Amino acid sequence: MSNLFYIKSFIFLSQLTLIESFFIFSKLHGGDTLEEFVQALADLDEAKTVELTKKRVESGEDPFT
């Protein structure tokens, strides 16, 4: 499964702190670095931004306001 799946699951569904989430993330992936964890968070943020922009466009709103 993708890193985004794990990040979404642990941060948003379980309401864990970032430190707890990183600990679980690193255990599941066998020693991933904090940099990879931060990149996965950035990817998630970007994906949410794209999703929200798409919804605004589909509803006829101006996505830039």
- Summarize pLDDT for 9-35 with one digit per residue, the tens: 656 556 667 777 777 777 776 656 777
Res. 37 pLDDT band, cuts 50 70 90: confident
Buried b (16+ CB within 10 A) or exposed e, 43-52: ebeeeeeeee
**CA torsion, ordered 44, 50, 59, 9, to nearest 10 deg:** -10
Collect all residues with Cβ–Cβ distance below 8 Å to 59 and sequence separation of at least 6.
none
Instruction: Report the mean per-residue pLDDT for the chain.
Output: 73
